[in-house]
Amino acid sequence: MMTRVSLKDIAQEIGVSNATVSLVLNGKEKEGRVSKELAERIRKKAVAMNYHPNAMARALRMGSSNTIGLIVTDSSNQFFAKLAFRIEEYADSLGYSVIVANSNENDAKMERMIQELKNRQVDGFIIIPTENGQGSINNLVNSKVPVVLLDRYFEEINTHHVLIDNFKTSRSATEFLINQGCKRIGLIIYKSELPHMQERRNGFAEALKRNGMYVPAFIKEINYQTIEENIQKAIDDLLTRIDPVDGILFASNSIAIHSLKYLMKRNINIPSDMKVIGFDENDAFDLSREPIPFVQQPIAEMGKLSVDLIIKQIEKEALNPTHIELLADLQNLPN
Amino acid sequence: MMTRVSLKDIAQEIGVSNATVSLVLNGKEKEGRVSKELAERIRKKAVAMNYHPNAMARALRMGSSNTIGLIVTDSSNQFFAKLAFRIEEYADSLGYSVIVANSNENDAKMERMIQELKNRQVDGFIIIPTENGQGSINNLVNSKVPVVLLDRYFEEINTHHVLIDNFKTSRSATEFLINQGCKRIGLIIYKSELPHMQERRNGFAEALKRNGMYVPAFIKEINYQTIEENIQKAIDDLLTRIDPVDGILFASNSIAIHSLKYLMKRNINIPSDMKVIGFDENDAFDLSREPIPFVQQPIAEMGKLSVDLIIKQIEKEALNPTHIELLADLQNLPN
DNA sequence: TAGCATTGCATAAACGATTAATTTACTATT
DNA sequence: AATAGTAAATTAATCGTTTATGCAATGCTA
C-alpha cells in the first residue's frame, strides 16, 4: 500500500512548517496571516501531490468527525434500506458522512453498535430503536450525545424524534377497509410495547369502535423472531373462525409480505376474497395480482428531517427536544 | 457530551503508566511482563470505568482500522441491500466493521467514495464497480490496496472478484423460456460494456442460436439513468412487431421490476400472454399473479467469500488474484 | 529613532493509542 | 562481593492533524 501524502510531506516539499500548510488548506490563511503567494503555492502543491487529509487524525484532534451514526434494525428491509439511502444522500450533500449499522431488532446488538460508533467518534446518532433498547438510548441522551429517534420512540425519553402519526394513519387505513365494505377486519401486528406499534393498534381499534365493529380477537400479535410461523397461525385463526374476517390490516412491511405470501399459498384471492392494506412501500405491492393498498411513509422527508435535527444538535448544542409527526398517504387505492 | 474515559484515565486512577495499561488491555502482559495482580487490577478498573478504546487513535497509530469499505451502486436496491447486510453480518463475526457507501452508478461518485473511505483508513475495499470506474479501480489495485470486486469485474484488471457465472446462468434462464414453449424471446438488458452484462447477453444469444431462434432485434439495451422510459419503449417495441415476442429475459432486478409494472399496466398476463424470467430475488417475484421465475444469486455465499478474500489480503499481503464464479439457481419455476 | 502594531511564519503541545527501548530493583550464580 | 540475568515497570517517540503561542522583521507614528 503506497504511503499516503501527509501535511508534513507538503510542508517539507515547500520548506515551511506544517502549521502553515494546515492553516492554508483549511482556509484560515487570513487569521493565520499567511501571504497570498505562499498560500497559493501550498494549495497548488497539495493538489499536485494528491493530498487528502487523514480523517482519523483530524477526528482525533478535533474530537468530532463530521459523521453521523445510523442504527437501523434491518438494512435489508426495503423500508429501512430506502430510509438509509435517503439519509446518506442528504447528509452527504451537507458534508456529513453516515455509517450504517444493524441491530437486527436485538437490544444487545444495538448497544454494541452504539458503542462501536462512539468509538469511531461519530458526532451524533439517528436510531431506529429496538423494543427494549430504552436503557441504551437513555444513556446516550443523558450523556448529551446528539440523538434523533426515527420511526419509533419511547414515552419516557424526551428526545428528538421523527415519525409518522401512526394513530391517525392506522385509523385511516382501517377506515379504508371499512369503506371497501369489510365487515370483520383483522389486524396483524408485532407484539410490542413500543408506542408506535401501540398507536397503530389503537388507531385500528378506534376506527372499528367508531363503527361498532371492534372485536378484540381479530387482533393478532406476532413475534419478530418467529414471524413466518406466527403469521401463518394468525391467518389460519382469522380465516377459520365461524365469522372469518374479510379484511386485514398489516402493521408493517415484513408482516405484509409474509402474510401476502401465505394468503397466496392458501389461494385466497385479493381483493375478491379478502381486502387488505399494508404499511410501507414495497415493489411487491405494485406487482401483485391487484395492486395492494398501503401506507406510504414520506421516507425522503423523514430522512431529511432527522438529518437536519441531528446536525442542528451537533452544531448548536442547545435545542429543545423536537417531536415531528408527519402524515402518511395511502397508495394503490382502487378508484 | 460526557468526556470519554481514556487509557490515561485508568493509568492515573491506578497510578501506573498508560503503557502498562495498554499492554494489559491488549493481552500482551506476557511480553510486557506485567504482574498478574496488577494486570487483574487494571482489567477490573477498565470495566468499572467503562473504558472503550478510541478507534480513531488506534487506527491512526496502527495504520489500520479493522474496517472494510463496501461500495455498492445502490443500497436501496434489494439485491445490493441484502448483499451489504450479509457482508456486514459476516465481517462483524470476524471482528471487522463495514462502512457502506453508494456510488449511484456514477463513476465520479465512486471515485469520491473511494477517497473518503481511504481517508477513514479502511483496510480494504469490496466494490461493485461502476461502468467506467476502471481507472479508479486500477489505481487502487496498483497502489496495492486490498480490493475485491463483487458482482462485476473488468477484463483488463487482474484482481480478485466474486460473481456468478453470468454466461451459463443467463443461458439456462433462456433455455427455461425455450422449454416453456416460447418461440420468440426478447432480452432487456443494460447498455453496458461491463463483462458481466456482456456475458448475460452472450449466454442469452448462445441459447437462442443453439435452437435457431436468435433474432438480434429482440435484444433491447436500455440506460440505467432513464430506465423507466427506456423499458416502456423497449417493451412497446417487442410487443408491436409483426412477430411479437412471447417470452422475455430481464437482465437485472430493477429491469424486471420496472418491466413487470409496465406489462401489468398494459394488461399483459403472465404467464399466459407472456412468459418471463428475471434476475435476483425480490419479494415482488413471489407475490405477483403467478410467481415470477428468477435467477437467484447465492447472496450470502457471495458476501462471505468476498469478505474472506479481502481479509486474507489485509492480513497476509500476498495472494494471487482469485476469480470466483458461483452457480446461480433458477427459482419459482412452474412445476 | 524609540515605541508599537502588524505581518508572516515557526514552535510545540495536544488528541488517544501502541511499542521499542530503557530503567529499576531483585534474585541467582560464581 | 561482584556480575549477570530476569521481572516489572516507565519513558518517549510516533501516527497526522489543529491551534494557541511565540518570535522576527517590517511598517508606522510621533
* Per-residue pLDDT reduced to its tens digit, A152-164: 999 999 999 999 9
Alpha helices in A143-248 (DSSP H): 166-179, 195-210, 227-239
pTM, 2 dp: 0.93
Residue at minimum CA to C1' distance from nucleotide D12: B19
Among candidates A4, A143, A289 on the partner chain, residue whose Cβ is nearest the Cβ of B2: A143
According to the model, what pLDDT value does residue B32 have?
A: 63
In the predicted model, what is the mean pLDDT of residues B141-164? 96
Q: Helix A55-62 crosses helix B55-62 at what angle (to 10 degrees)?
A: 140
In the predicted model, what is the mean pLDDT of residues A190-218? 96
A21 vs A14: CA distance, rounded Å: 9
What is the distance in angstroms between the Cα of B188 and the nearest Cα belonging to chain A? 18
* Per-residue pLDDT reduced to its tens digit, A13-39: 999 999 999 999 999 877 767 889 999
A213 vs A181: CA distance, rounded Å: 12
Length of chain A as a residue count:
335
B334 falls in which pLDDT band (50, 70, 90)? confident
- Give CA A48 to chain center in angstroms: 41
Question: What are residue B333's phi and psi, to 5 degrees?
Answer: -75, 140
Asked if residues A162 and A324 have their Cβ atoms less than 8 Å apart, the reply is yes
Q: What is the 3-state secondary structure (H, E, C) of chain B?
A: CCCCCCHHHHHHHHCCCHHHHHHHHCCCHHHHCCCHHHHHHHHHHHHHCCCCCCHHHHHHHHCCCCEEEEEECCCCCHHHHHHHHHHHHHHHHCCCEEEEEECCCCHHHHHHHHHHHHHCCCCEEEECCCCCCHHHHHHHHHCCCCEEEECCCCCCCCCEEEEECHHHHHHHHHHHHHHCCCCCEEEEEECCCCHHHHHHHHHHHHHHHHCCCCCHHHEEEECCCCHHHHHHHHHHHHHCCCCCCCEEEECCHHHHHHHHHHHHHCCCCCCCCCEEEEECCCHHHHHECCCCCEEECCHHHHHHHHHHHHHHHHHHCCCCCCEEEECCEEECCCC
Which residue carries 481507472 as its cell?
B135
* Per-residue pLDDT reduced to its tens digit, A101-120: 999 999 999 999 999 999 99
Asked if residues A311 and A123 have their Cβ atoms less than 8 Å apart, the reply is no
Contact across the interface for A283 and B286, Cβ inside 8 Å: no
User: How far: B61 CA to C24 C1' (Å)?
Assistant: 28
Of A189-193, B129-133, B186-190, B285-289, least confident by mean pLDDT is B285-289
* Per-residue pLDDT reduced to its tens digit, B85-94: 999 999 999 9
Contact across the interface for B260 and A145, Cβ inside 8 Å: no
- Output DSSP code: residue A288: B
Can you give the C-alpha Rg of chain B in angstroms? 26
Beta-bridge mates of residue A295 = A279, A330
Can you give the C-alpha Rg of chain A in angstroms? 26
User: How far: A124 CA to C8 C1' (Å)?
Assistant: 39
In chain B, which residues have their Cβ closer than 8 Å to the Cβ of A99? 99
B269 vs B30: CA distance, rounded Å: 72
Among B328, B269, B19, CA closest to B151: B328
The mean pLDDT of chain B is: 94
Q: How would you label A187-220 residue by residue, b for 16+ Cβ within 10 Å and e otherwise?
A: bbbbebebbbbebbbbbbbbbbeeeebeeeebbb
In chain A, which residues have their Cβ closer than 8 Å to the Cβ of B52? 115, 118-119
What is the distance in angstroms between the Cα of B218 and the nearest Cα belonging to chain A? 24
Contact across the interface for B56 and A59, Cβ inside 8 Å: yes
Measured CA to C1', the nucleotide nearest B61 is D15
3-state secondary structure at position A125 = strand
**Interface probe, candidates A76, A121, A299, chain B, greatest B C-beta count within 10 A:** A76
B2 falls in which pLDDT band (50, 70, 90)? low
What is the distance in angstroms between the Cα of B7 and the nearest Cα belonging to chain A? 13
User: How far: B17 CA to C24 C1' (Å)?
Assistant: 15
User: How far: A39 CA to C7 C1' (Å)?
Assistant: 14
B131 vs B147: CA distance, rounded Å: 17
Residue B305 has pLDDT above 60, yes or no: yes
Residue A208 has pLDDT above 70, yes or no: yes
Report the residue of chain A nearest B291, measured CA to CA: A288
Measured CA to C1', the nucleotide nearest A17 is C10
Among candidates A57, A78, A260 on the partner chain, residue whose Cβ is nearest the Cβ of B287: A260
3-state secondary structure at position A38 = helix
> Which bases on strand C have an atom closer than 7 Å to a protein beta carbon?
7-12, 14-21
Q: Helix B78-93 crosses helix B299-316 at what angle (to 10 degrees)?
A: 50
List Cβ neighbours of A225 (8 Å cut-off, separation of 6 or more).
Answer: A105
According to the model, what pLDDT value does residue B287 have?
A: 87
The mean pLDDT of chain A is: 94
Residue A51 has pLDDT above 80, yes or no: yes
Q: Which three cell numbers stand for residue B86?
A: 450479509
% of chain B beyond a pLDDT of 70:
99
According to the model, what pLDDT value does residue B278 have?
A: 95
Q: Helix A7-14 crosses helix A18-25 at what angle (to 10 degrees)?
A: 110
Residue B1 has pLDDT above 60, yes or no: no
Measured CA to C1', the nucleotide nearest A56 is D16
Contact across the interface for A81 and B75, Cβ inside 8 Å: yes
According to the model, what pLDDT value does residue B246 have?
A: 94
B62 falls in which pLDDT band (50, 70, 90)? very high
Which residues, by CB, come closer than 7 Å to strand C?
A: A 15-20, 32-35, 38, 57, 60-61, 63; B 3-4, 6-8, 18-19, 22-23, 25-26, 28, 32, 51-54, 57-58, 60-62
Q: Helix A195-210 crosses helix A166-179 at what angle (to 10 degrees)?
A: 40
% of chain A beyond a pLDDT of 90:
86
A142 falls in which pLDDT band (50, 70, 90)? very high
Amino acid identity, position A144 = K
A259 vs A278: CA distance, rounded Å: 10
Beta-bridge mates of residue B241 = none
Residue B317 has pLDDT above 80, yes or no: no
**Interface probe, candidates B72, B82, B283, chain A, greatest A C-beta count within 10 A:** B283
User: How far: B271 CA to C30 C1' (Å)?
Assistant: 97
Question: What are residue A89's phi and psi, to 5 degrees?
Answer: -60, -45
In chain B, which residues have their Cβ closer than 8 Å to the Cβ of A84? 75-76
